[in-house]
């Protein structure tokens, strides 16, 4: 719900606000963009976790942008509800004059001369570029473990990984070192770290947000989305990066509508806490007025069976030349995942992609009567960092389980939102049909109220 401010500037602590609340505080002159940025820069400087979360803090740029936002605030000419709000960026987004490595030594020295397209759009709307965050190497892991650079921690367990590949993005928000972050999602890389760090994460529809100036992994599945504290924040940032007007997230009884529980694989082998969190969330949604029905979609199972073919083959095709020129620079587990696509035949890949198009159409037809489909965001809890580094079988099994449920959204080409539950590191995912982010965010807002009230 919107923050109700008192006429007391001491109440306006930027570090305790969501992005939308901070923008509202600027609008009401309860604080200003320079003060807010300075508070975050001080928190970043003092934190013992900063080096594990941030690749680089773009202090000089941020100070200039905050000063400009402060001038607009004084003149009553703010460029939007998030004008002056600082955000962090995953280190696969090009920031002019700052190295983009995507968590890999393969890209050391890659210095972009321009901002990526969505950073340009964010800057036009007055957002302040706080810095670049650590990530899984080349974005090819759902765990967030990166021995090559840094491994950000989970807010609920410092001995566990944060989730990937947008690990530092989520950690920057969860540990109070940014009010919001932008990540990418190819198989769950926004939603897994958001869920494990009790945040909101939005996976947009393929093509809805420009990928220009973003390091690719699998172009058929790469998407961009925000990692934030509330659904309100997600709605505002989505509007910014898609150049749309802010979405009316006001929920109405008619929009509580119908939800489907996706049975089958998404509910198999759940660890205890994710199972309890999902059960409690379904009950809360039902009590709130949603009509909920269980469904099974065979095409989802068929699509999941293809993921071990389409992802590695497309990723290896993208990165083969750089990888094989210097494979010793890579973390072994990630190198092995890429090379899993080395021997896939073109005929196998093309047939799999054609089959996916059929599965997408069947999925859309079978889900058309529902406003959204719900499932546990992740079937497991954040795995232990040390064990992941020392136990190959554990790494492989946990990575596959972490990505299992979220990957459905990418394979089906739809949009998906994860919101926190009342169980730490357990998220609830709501999936909607392609290009229905506005409706999805309204559903998410209602669900957020139902579950967390």
Annotated catalytic sites, by residue?
Answer: 90, 165, 189
Q: To the nearest 10°, report the CA torsion of 116, 120, 125, 126.
A: 100
Phi, psi of 87, rounded to the nearest 5 degrees: -140, 155
Residue 406 to residue 419: CA distance in whole angstroms: 13
Name the region of 435 (left: φ>0; alpha: ψ -120 to 50; beta: rest): left
């Amino acid at each position: 719900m919107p923050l109700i401010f008192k006429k007391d500037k001491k109440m306006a602590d930027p570090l305790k606000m969501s992005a939308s609340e901070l923008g509202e505080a600027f609008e009401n002159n309860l604080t200003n963009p320079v003060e807010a940025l300075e508070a975050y820069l001080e928190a970043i400087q003092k934190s013992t976790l900063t080096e594990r979360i941030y690749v680089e803090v773009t202090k000089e740029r941020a100070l200039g942008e905050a000063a400009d936002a402060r001038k607009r605030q004084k003149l009553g000419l703010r460029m939007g509800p998030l004008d002056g709000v600082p955000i962090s960026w995953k280190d696969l987004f090009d920031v002019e004059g700052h190295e983009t490595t995507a968590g890999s030594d393969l890209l050391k020295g890659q210095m972009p001369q321009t901002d990526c397209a969505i950073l340009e759009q964010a800057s036009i709307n007055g957002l302040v570029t706080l810095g670049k965050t650590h990530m899984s190497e080349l974005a090819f892991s759902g765990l967030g473990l990166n021995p090559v650079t840094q491994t950000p921690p989970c807010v609920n367990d410092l001995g566990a990984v944060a989730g990937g590949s947008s690990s530092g993005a989520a950690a920057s928000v969860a540990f109070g070192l940014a009010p919001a972050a932008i990540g990418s999602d190819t198989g769950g890389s926004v939603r897994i770290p958001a869920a494990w760090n009790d945040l909101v994460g939005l996976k947009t529809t393929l093509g809805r947000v420009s990928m220009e100036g973003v390091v690719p992994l699998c172009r058929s599945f790469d998407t961009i989305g925000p990692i934030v504290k509330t659904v309100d924040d997600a709605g505002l940032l989505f509007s910014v990066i898609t150049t749309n007007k802010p979405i009316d997230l006001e929920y109405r009884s008619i929009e509580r509508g119908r939800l489907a529980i996706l049975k089958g694989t998404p509910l198999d082998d759940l660890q205890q806490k994710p199972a309890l969190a999902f059960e409690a969330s379904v009950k809360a949604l039902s009590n709130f007025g949603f009509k909920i029905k269980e469904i099974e979609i065979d095409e989802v199972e068929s699509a999941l069976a293809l993921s071990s073919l389409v992802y590695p083959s497309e990723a290896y095709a993208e990165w083969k030349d750089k990888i094989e020129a210097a494979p010793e620079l890579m973390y072994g587990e990630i190198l092995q995942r890429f090379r899993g696509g080395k021997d896939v035949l073109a005929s196998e890949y093309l047939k799999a992609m054609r089959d996916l198009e059929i599965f997408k159409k069947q999925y859309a037809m079978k889900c058309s009567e529902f406003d959204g489909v719900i499932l546990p965001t992740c079937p497991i809890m954040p795995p232990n960092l040390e064990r992941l580094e020392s136990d190959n079988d554990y790494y492989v099994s946990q990575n596959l389980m972490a990505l299992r449920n979220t990957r459905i959204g990418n394979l089906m080409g739809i949009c998906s939102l994860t919101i926190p539950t009342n169980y730490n590191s357990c998220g609830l995912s709501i999936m909607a049909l392609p290009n229905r982010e506005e409706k999805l965010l309204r559903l998410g807002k209602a669900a957020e109220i139902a579950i967390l009230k």
